[in-house]
Structure 1
């Protein structure tokens, strides 16, 4: 059966961020010439989900939809499946298969360990027992998605000698970066390494850098190092390869793809009010939009 792989990126108001995802897709396609790979975005870009699904279905018998997303919150659990269901109605002769998101696993841990080693190098390799680590994620209204960040922080703690490996979020949930830095400073950390839990650049990456610069001024006695986002790491490409092969039945799937929206306060509220799942469910970012209030 003729198949098309549709890579779904988040999308950003920052054009350079969208171009970075397109370049990532080009490199992935070059490494897999046996696959036809197309790209679309959830928001803030020219080719959005519906158009991407229609393009992928144009001359394919099967479309494998692959979310280029780390954690499963509203986009992965609700929004993308909703658009896939609509596409099935528009293309009844095409089989749409939904692959798993990237997830929190050993490959992501390997990237984080490299990022931490790089940050420690920038700090001149201080004592890890006096160097705090902060894993900084986007934040979601879904507790399972936030728990994936906490899981990686725990794994990172168990793999090293750092006495403090904390999590923080840029939006929607807490704690925020400033509060965690304040706590680590009180506990005597003399260096702090901030590890953004992000795939690509965007407005939030720029915001994180500004926040760290302010924190450096607020805590002149503490040395800060801010690591880079994940980008074009080989582990990300390898995870996508595996997700495609799982979806195609070439590898055993590790878990069901269509997950319940565990712990999501927006889902229950939306169902009570008879509404669909709100768009700003899984991020206080939309690359650069924050909302703390429940939908009305």
Structure 2
């Protein structure tokens, strides 16, 4: 029997964890599998180990593990696989296939455009749009967020689109705000490329508040991505491509 294991990041903020669980519950409704469990890499329960145990105890003979992460980085490449390898050794007779994170696609850019539109503030010719990623030391994160920024730039040909990061990569969000302060743009849109709320979202708001008190520029903070049907579609695609063998990372 095939099980699906959804692996979320986890947060110290209970509201973020609740949003993740609500999101996964919607994703589960779209799949026919009788065995489906969610878990968290860190900071929240159930752990990957606990949820994996639950899948096996319910009769799973094959587990499809899906990292519910926006981009491919250290968590997806190393941290999660290390735990899955340990579980594969615990249950050697249970097949394990590991899928891909959500990744870069036009679907994700559609959501970014929606987040801009729902502010009800028109993106003008001299507007500056900051696409804010979590950040990582992994160069693939900069590559992927840069690709997303390029795709968004194509949708907004008369505006500037710049990517920046909250941690571990440059330019930092603080540096981007400083650049925005001295730019010719009178309005600055800020799109948090985050799945859910959390401490990083609060950090973004605090940084905006600090610069708004100094300048007369208009800063417009968009919503984080949150649950969106197109993200649900992307998760479903990741499940199906593993199930159909289009992308399979096996554990021996």
User: TM-score range, shorter-chain basis?
Assistant: over 0.9
8 Å contact from structure 1 (residues 12, 202) kept in 2: yes
Distance (whole Å) between structure 2 residues aligned to residue 79 and residue 201 of structure 1 = 22
1:161, distance to aligned residue in structure 2 (A) = 2.9
1:88 paired residue number: 88
Please state if 1:240 is matched with 2:235: yes
Aligned to 2:9: 10
Does 1:169 find its partner at 2:165?
yes
Task: Give the TM-score taking structure 2 as reference length.
Answer: 0.93
Task: Tell me the equivalent position of 1:222.
Answer: 217
Unpaired stretches in structure 1, ≥5 consecutive residues: 259-296
Bigger drift between 159-168 and 194-203 goes to 159-168
Offset of 1:139 from its aligned partner?
Answer: 0.6
Structure-2 separation of matches of 1:44 and 1:159:
37
In 2, the alpha carbon distance for the partners of 1:126 and 1:46 equals 41
> Which moves more between the two structures, 32-41 or 225-234?
32-41
CA distance in 2, matches of 1:131, 1:104: 24
Cα distance in structure 1, aligned partners of 2:38 and 2:188:
37
* Moved segments of 4+, more than 2 Å: 30-36, 184-187
The DSSP-based 3-state class of the residue aligned with 2:86 is: helix
Q: TM-score, normalised by structure 1?
A: 0.80
Counterparts of residues 1-296 of structure 1 (less than 5 Å): 2-58=1-57, 59-119=59-119, 121=120, 123=121, 125=122, 127=124, 129-219=125-215, 221-249=216-244, 252-253=246-247
Partner of residue 273, structure 1: none
Q: Secondary structure at the match of 1:50?
A: helix
Deviation, 1:46, is 1.7
SS for the counterpart of 2:234 is helix
- Find the aligned partners of 1:257 and 1:198 in 2 and give their Cα distance: 26
- After TM superposition, give the deviation of residue 21 of structure 1 in Å: 0.8
Aligned residues: 249
